[in-house]
Chain A
Amino acid sequence: MDMDKIDQIIDKHHCEASSLLQILLDIQTENNWLPKEALGRISERLEVPLTRIQHIVTFYKAFSLVPKGRHKVHICVGTACHVRGASRILDTVEEATGIKPGETDLEMKFSLETVNCLGCCALGPVVDIDGKVHGKMTPVKTSEVLKLYE
């Protein structure tokens, strides 16, 4: 990631240590993951030890220290989706993509994550792929939807 962009984000938050979380979130949104150089730059400019930054990026789920695939598959495993069979949807996706939650496949096609509620419980079980919500999923429907992504 380009250092100028990182500096811009840090400056936007007035280079304040209390905004560390917000800075990391902005970089995550911009770049999809947090490269080591970015963390080093933040540590240097905010005068926060790298260990504390490591603590934060591994504590919160929103951050990723590895690159993500082209398509982000989020399987809702919130309670409403769980009781409607989300685990079977997860099994299907794991089977089809060969990856487990938190992983990205070797071709960088899919990154799989589980989430705890997307707020559309009426449509459960739901799968969110790149921001589009697919509702009322069944294992059969799930395999078909995954085929739509290249």
Chain B
Amino acid sequence: MVQLDSPEALESFRQEILSKRDPKRPCISICAGAGCVASGATEVIEAFKAEIEKQGLAAKVDTKGTGCPGFCERGPVVVIYPEEICYLQVAPEDVPEIVSETIKENRVVERLLFEDPVTGERAVHESDISFYKAQERTVLCNNIKIDSRSIDDYLALGGYSALTKALGEMTDLEVLEEVKKSNLRGRGGAGFPAGRKWEGSRNAPEPIKYVIVNADEGDPGAFMDRALLEGNPHSILEGLILGGYAVAAQEGYFYVRQEYPLAVENINLAIKQAEAYGLLGKNILGSGFDFKVIVHQGAGAFVCGESTALMTSLEGKAGEPRPKYVRSNVKGLWNKPSVLNNVETWANVPHIINRGADWFTKVGTESSKGTKIFSLVGKITNTGLVEVPMGMTLRDIIYKIGGGIPNGKKFKAVQTGGPSGGCIPEDQLDLQVGFDELTKAGSMMGSGGMIVLDEDTCMVDVARYFIHFLTDESCGKCVPCREGLRQMDRILTNITEGKGKEGDIELLEELSETAVEASLCALGKSAPNPFLSTLRYFRDEYEAHIKEKRCPALSCKELIAYYIDPEKCMACGMCFKKCPAGAIDGEKKKIHIIDQDKCTNCGTCFEVCPTKFGAVTKISGEPVPAPVPEEKRMISKKTPSKESQKGK
């Protein structure tokens, strides 16, 4: 094993790796991220390996499972280098054709390419796909190019060059200055300037200091940190080492959520590889700087994403937050100065050191610099991870990159910032994304979850959902959060179940105010946000639920009834057969009727009714029409197919 004892040694080692690699050699990269694996990527990787072997190409072609490039909607994603041909939704059956056509004959398999839904044009390269075109990918771009388990892959792409630059040419203070100048703000939620946090730790008198990666990504619907941890762990590790150098820390920690076992595995492996090369440990690259890194797993508590709770948990205790009279960068883990930054923040650091603060500040808005990864999910055509420059409008993200709302539905709102964030309605879609811009609109950046909601989503239910989530996750230390949220959850649940009463909204507002004022940590302080922001923009929906017992989105189970439109029912029997409650009465040529007393509102009939009939409908806020009298239930009308035959 090579031990790299100076920046020069690392650079020459990099050249050695590169000289052994032929840039023209075909390489098949298959995304092995969580989304693609769930769509069958593991089988695709196996199929490629077997097929390459079978066709006798093993010596000429590389195959690797890589990190997530973000286009989860169309997974499994396969990119073939050096041409960068991008195939989507690849199944094991497609593999023999790809190998014989593309690898052997250099021909493109048209049917697996991305087809633009508007123009119908096919895109051969990743960069031609509309989903990627409007993005600016600094942090995510290497995910599909490297085998996340190979440090040599990372080195071949210029990895650890920021470290050689910092240790070889810069003093620790210069590194700190550069990060400060870049105005990099924390990507985990609050957006605190990273450089200022680092400086506070550096200037603290305690000689023992820590740097910590917050990889306890708990926001439901956000998985960008997972993609980086699993796909490009060395980029985060390099950032952490640079941070350790800048604040003069001796130890670093990764606090990874227990639900991400692959991330834990990849980070542990990355640390071992870096240690073996001498990029971690004593006297790194001959600079005299000693640094070691330890991985800790969380145990399933959302509150541990909060800085002080995370540090308490690292100490082996129940993760309850601590007061911040003295900030944790001065008195944190074991009461020592501790810099805690999010995964994405750390992953930005090597880029800033490599290319300079001036390069970084060129992108973004006045107060938010650089790019930000969002996880675009919910009622959106292209679900996935998108990295965009700060300052892009929500409209561009949702329509240009996300491809808009599927199934011809209407956009209603976008929820940003995770459970403590807020909803932004359609008339504010031209808002530029940035820390301060989103806060002004009553939401927040948070870790970058972006959940698109359409007309079928009930806003009261969304608020109830998040408050319920936070009630569950409240650690119980502060009464306004523990008890106040519980009451809010009860009142909101009542409203969605048609048991809301006059005065509920005012009571919810009062509870919100107390939680915001009197909770210790950010969880409680921001917990009422989902309620407050939906009330701000969708008050009419709250009132419809309370006053008219009506759910305008036809989504709240207790407030809707299913009804078969006798005019549209063709007596096909689908709903009759599938109804789990046996609530549907019908037979051949006889209009089907739902027995409202037996119906459990499960929605199965609505789901199975053929779209060409669309006979099952939802009704809310008004009585269900009386069933068709028995004598009129026989269908005497011609079925549409017969009618159309007649017309011919």
Contacts and interface: CB of A to CB of B under 8 A. Distances in A.
A92 B602 contact: yes
Q: How large is the interface on B (under 10, 10 to 19, 20 to 34, 35 or more residues)?
A: 35 or more
B300 A135 contact: no
A5 B648 CA distance: 79
Interface in A89-125: 91-92, 95, 115-124
Interface in B21-78: 34-35, 37-39, 72-73, 75
Given A21-B313, A60-B318, A62-B300, A120 B34 contact: yes
B315 interface: yes
A117 B72 CA distance: 15
B299 A21 contact: yes
A116 B603 contact: no
Interface in B463-483: 465-466, 469, 475
Given A24-B299, A56-B317, A122 B384 contact: yes
A139 B602 contact: yes
A138 interface: yes
Nearest to B469: A116
Interface stretch (B8-16, B430-438, B449-457): B449-457
B576 interface: no
A126 B38 contact: yes
A122 B602 contact: no
Nearest to B382: A122
Interface in B282-338: 296-302, 313-319
Nearest to B313: A21
A59 interface: yes
A20 B316 CA distance: 5
A61 interface: yes
Contact of A117 (B221, B258, B313, B578): B221
Contacts of A55: 318
Interface in B193-251: 218-223, 226
A57 B109 CA distance: 53
Interface string B576-620: 001010000000000000000000001110011000000000000
B415 interface: yes
B409 to A, nearest CB: 12
Contacts of B302: 116
Contacts of B39: 120, 123, 135
B221 A61 contact: no
A63 B299 contact: yes
Nearest to B222: A117
Interface string A47-59: 0000010011001
A83 interface: yes
A122 B377 CA distance: 7
Nearest to A58: B318
B321 to A, nearest CB: 13
B465 A79 contact: yes
Q: How large is the interface on A (under 10, 10 to 19, 20 to 34, 35 or more residues)?
A: 35 or more
A121 B223 contact: yes
Contacts of B34: 118-120
B580 A79 contact: no
A124 to B, nearest CB: 7
Contacts of A59: 301, 318-319, 475
A123 B221 CA distance: 12
B266 interface: no
B532 to A, nearest CB: 17
B299 A18 contact: no
B378 A79 contact: yes
B68 to A, nearest CB: 9
Contact of B218 (A116, A124, A143): A116
A133 B302 CA distance: 22
B183 interface: no
Given A80-B383, A140-B608, A60 B301 contact: yes
A60 B383 contact: no
A52 B379 CA distance: 44
A81 B602 CA distance: 17
Contact of B223 (A77, A82, A119): A119
A120 B451 contact: no
A150 B571 CA distance: 36
B221 A121 contact: yes
Contacts of A117: 219-223
Given A20-B316, A122-B35, A126-B38, A80 B607 contact: no
Contact of A80 (B220, B419, B557): B220
A80 B221 contact: yes
Contacts of A21: 296-297, 299, 313, 316
A16 B296 CA distance: 14
B462 interface: yes
Interface centre among A22, A24, A62, A92 (most CB of B within 10 A): A62
Contacts of B314: 18
B259 interface: yes
Given A25-B299, A120-B38, A80 B602 contact: no
Nearest to B419: A79
B342 interface: no
A22 to B, nearest CB: 6
Given A83-B378, A83-B457, A124-B377, A116 B318 contact: no
A21 B297 CA distance: 8
A78 B449 CA distance: 11
B420 interface: no
11 contacts: A21-B316, A60-B298, A60-B318, A79-B466, A80-B378, A82-B220, A88-B603, A120-B34, A122-B384, A135-B38, A139-B602
Given A22-B297, A82-B465, A83-B453, 8 more contacts: A16-B316, A18-B314, A24-B299, A78-B220, A117-B220, A118-B259, A121-B35, A140-B604
Q: State the 6 A-B residue pairs at the shortest beta-carbon distance, nearest first.
A: A78-B220, A61-B300, A60-B299, A119-B223, A122-B383, A133-B38
